Structure 1
Amino acid sequence: MADRRSVLCTAIFTPIVFILLILGWQRGGLKDDENLAPADPPPVSHTNEPIIAGYFVNWGIYDREYNVVDLQADKLSHVLYAFANLLDDGTIVLGDAWADTDKHFPAGQTINKKADDWNEGGDNLYGNFKQLYLLKQKYRHLKVSLSVGGWSWSGNFSTVASNPEKRARFTETAASYVQDLGLDGIDIDWEMPKNDAEAVSYVALVHDLRAALGTDYLVSVAVPCGPEDYKKLHLPEMASEVDLFYLMAYDFAGAWDPVIGHQAALYGGVLNDDSAVEYYIKSGVPAEKIVLGIPAYGRGFSNTENKVGSSFDGVPSGTWEAGSYDYKVLPKPGATEHYDADQVASYSYDTKTHEFVTYDNPAAVKAKCEYALNKGLAGVMFWELSADAETQDRSLVHAAYTAFEGQVDASSNHIEYTLSRYDNIRSGM
């Protein structure tokens, strides 16, 4: 009787197991033949904890003296590494090889407090990406994506996205970087598709990228908040392929305008966060995929009055470029900080120099985080992290962490990359 039962069970369950194996194979992404390993168990795709994301710029390690070790990793869930360039043939290339993969950091600038050894044997990864990998090992909730494009390097997206062969090259190199550098995904910062044809190509690009990375790795996009730009996008089609939409909800006002205004107001004015969020949701992007961008810098206006809508004459020299200040130097000495609770916008004004600077302070960040929770959004994002204040009472990242009551997206990152070209990434350091 026992033998008959065994035969019967085998006859019933063997086809079922075979079918399940076939289905699992068909759904796979990052296959070995695509130079990417299955790695560790897939991260949880959605959690109730909010996202706190921030862009880390590779040029920050120079004059800004901001390194990976300076990240508030316990308060961040996602780091977006800016930027990689895109060549005309679809190849993604890193923006600064020295900063990205080559620099040997001294012990005081490393996550493990060990200086990078110049005499270490093998082909090893160094630079910012080694430190980010070590940081991921220490904080298993921290996900790191490589951001491709940006304002300066978006020129080739149109050509690449419209050509199947070039898209294939794009996805091939993207997938290789994920594996080689120990990443959790790819972020596309195309600024901006100019017409419907480019918007259609954008859908094809994210579709192919999703196919190459599979469902376990992140595909995100940085998207505009101006109607003339976001109305061009084919959002429902993009939403089916993209995990996160990072709304660039800043630069609503600046030197290009005839009068001064708030650069990142939640409500009011010609441009505001709420209008953009509502459009994306109504256009088919699930709220839980939307991340609200917050500036960590201010836009300045010279020779003006302390009133939105006033004329101005020129812009101040700024921290690194004319008209723009790092948030951490604001308000400037002699200026008084103000907060507009109705529009959810903060700014400073100096009655002697007649300088007006528009930016987000901790009160504005708190209100935007509450808005994100009430709207069911995924969370918030900061551009860019080197400009944040170092003290907790002024830090914007800390303000978001506090507003979210110390909760941050805890879905697991990846740390196993058995097919990386780098010995130390393959071995887990």
Structure 2
Amino acid sequence: MNNIKRSFLFLLLIGLFSCESKNTTVSLVAGEEHKYKIIGYIAGWKGVDTAKIDAAKMTHINYAFANVIDGKVMEGEGREKSDKENLTKLNSLKSLNPDLKILISIGGWTWSKGFSDAALTEESRKIFTASAIDYLVRHDLDGLDFDWEYPGLPGDNNPYRQEDKENFVLMLKSVREALDSLGSINDTHYLSTIASAGFKEYLDVNDLGQAQKYLDFINIMTYDYIVQFSSDTTGHHANLQTIDQNVRSSEKAVNDHVAAGVPIEKLVMGMAFYGRSWSNVNPENNGLYQFGKGSKGYPYSAISELMKDSLFVRHWDENSKAPFLWNEKERIFVTFEDAESISEKAKFIKKHKMGGAMFWEYSEDTEDHTLLNAIYENLK
């Protein structure tokens, strides 16, 4: 999009945005909930090689991340050139899949420090919204994905306030109004989505029932239920179910979102293309739910290589619908996702008519796309 057209659209947008929107809520088109979404996050700092991306098997790509600096959405320091190049490459994938949508994901675990201030006042929300729309137009994107980790909670030692609960909704409303104004100019529906947490504490300090009115869908991060560096006990980090009500699960996360007022057809279940490990693990129960020392994380591509080593034995926990690896000799435990656990999650998605599946992160799959293929084959 050339600079003259971008400036023209942006000026019109600001004029429309200054007027009260009559109806900014997002409703699903009849039958749309049965066209399952497959949303892949791609980490910009790892680069983009379009030859390695199977665009035909995804409906959306979320490029991670844009930062929030001084209340504005912008490229991270030193990333202006590389992000522009990467987003141009991703947009080129539409020649292979014309229905593919490209979104910018804003924030993330380490870049969520500016959200609370940006959402604090009506004036700051206008500045934030204008910068988000400018970013979208500048890179010719299809939508905005807000990955605020987390409103009302510290996340990575981030500033947070009790008022985040209300301000988060007002921020999303402001963005929705602006996207609708821009869309009315060029007859396009721009997407607004969020990544939400897979634990109830997040829902308790937010109002997702109101927030969802301004969102096309919500990607639940139904993984990282247990992190090796913060727990000396092993477990599943992306399990679908649990028989222990004190243990997190994807099923509980979905049910909690519905109880909070989110229509289930707007919910997208997250899947992890990586695993976590512990060493020096107590050997009882093949290392599951045992004391150990937090060790390293693995992309699924590396886990698939571990499974070729006879020392690493794959086990299946039927109660959790989750796999794990146990190396008895070296006392190493690995929690991860695989094609079987993805199949179980896909069954859940279809049974309950959820919006679809998303995953973090594309490059961590095998070269032959084992996990993406599992999602696609089970949801197509």
**Deviation for aligned residue 1:35:** 7.4
Question: Does structure 1 residue 81 correspond to structure 2 residue 34?
Answer: no
Matched, 1:223 2:174: no
Q: Percent identity?
A: 31
Q: Map residues 21-40 of structure 1 onto 2, 5 A cutoff.
A: 33-34=12-13
2:290 is aligned to 310
Letter in 1 for 2:253: A
CA drift of 1:373 comes to 0.7
Aligned partner letter, 2:373: H
Kindly state the Cα deviation for residue 220 of structure 1 after the two structures are TM-superposed.
0.3
Whether the 8 Å contact between 2:58 and 2:100 is mirrored in structure 1 is yes
Q: How does 1:27-426 map to 2 (within 5 A)?
A: 33-34=12-13, 46-61=32-47, 67-88=49-70, 90-95=71-76, 96-101=79-84, 127-194=85-152, 196-214=162-180, 216-255=189-228, 256-268=230-242, 269=244, 270-304=247-281, 305=283, 306-315=286-295, 323-331=296-304, 332=306, 333=309, 334-392=311-369, 395-404=370-379, 407=380
Distance, in Å, in 1 between the alignment partners of 2:33 and 2:138 is 27
After TM superposition, give the deviation of residue 167 of structure 1 in Å: 1.2
Q: Secondary structure at the match of 2:64?
A: strand
Measure, in 2, the Cα distance between the counterparts of 1:263 and 1:212: 37
Corresponding residue number in structure 2 for 1:422? none
Bigger radius of gyration among the two: 1
Q: Which has the higher contact order (CA 8 A, sep 6+)?
A: 1
- Give per-residue Cα distances to partners, 1:93-147, cap 9 Å, x unaligned: 113223211xxxxxxxxxxxxxxxxxxxxxxxxx111111211233111111101
TM-score (norm 1): 0.74
- Residues 138-181 of structure 1 show CA distances to partners (whole Å, capped at 9, x for unaligned) of 31111111010000010111111112222111111211222221
Question: Residue deviations 1:321-376, cap 9 Å, x none?
Answer: xx211011114133122222331111111122111110100000011011011111
What is the deviation of 1:213? 0.4
Q: Distance in 2 between matches of 1:342 and 1:138?
A: 40
Shift of 1:47: 5.0
SS of 1:330 mapped into structure 2: helix
For residues 129 and 94 of structure 2, the distance between their equivalents in structure 1, rounded to whole angstroms, comes to 24
- Alpha-carbon separation, structure 2, partners of 1:67 and 1:324: 23
| TM-score normalised by L of structure 2 | 0.83
Q: Which runs of 5+ in 2 are unaligned?
A: 1-8, 17-27, 153-160, 184-188
Structure 2 counterpart of 1:263, one-letter code: H
Bigger mean CA offset, 216-225 vs 330-339: 330-339
What is the CA deviation profile of residues 176-213 of structure 1, one whole-angstrom value per residue up to 9, with x for unaligned ones?
22222111100000001125411111001100000010
Q: 1:74 to 1:273 in 2, by over 3 A?
A: same
Unaligned segments of structure 1, at least 5 residues: 1-29, 38-43, 102-126, 316-322, 408-429
Give the aligned partner of residue 158 of structure 2.
none
Q: Tell me the CA shift for residue 31 of structure 1.
A: 7.1
Cα gap change, 1:176/1:310 in structure 2, threshold over 3 Å: closer, same or farther? same
- Give SS of 1:240's match: helix
One-letter code aligned to 1:266: L
2:74–2:135 contact (8 Å) kept in structure 1 = no
- Mapped to 1, the partners of 2:33 and 2:195 lie a distance apart of 21
Provide the C-alpha distance between the structure 2 equivalents of 1:155 and 1:242, rounded to a whole number of angstroms: 22
> Aligned residue pairs: how many?
331
Task: Note if contact 1:225-1:249 (Cα within 8 Å) is conserved in structure 2.
Answer: yes
| 1:406-429 superposed Cα distances (whole Å, 9 cap, x missing partner) | x2xxxxxxxxxxxxxxxxxxxxxx
1:225 Cα deviation after fit = 1.0
Offset of residue 53 of structure 1: 0.5
* Paired amino acid for 1:144: I
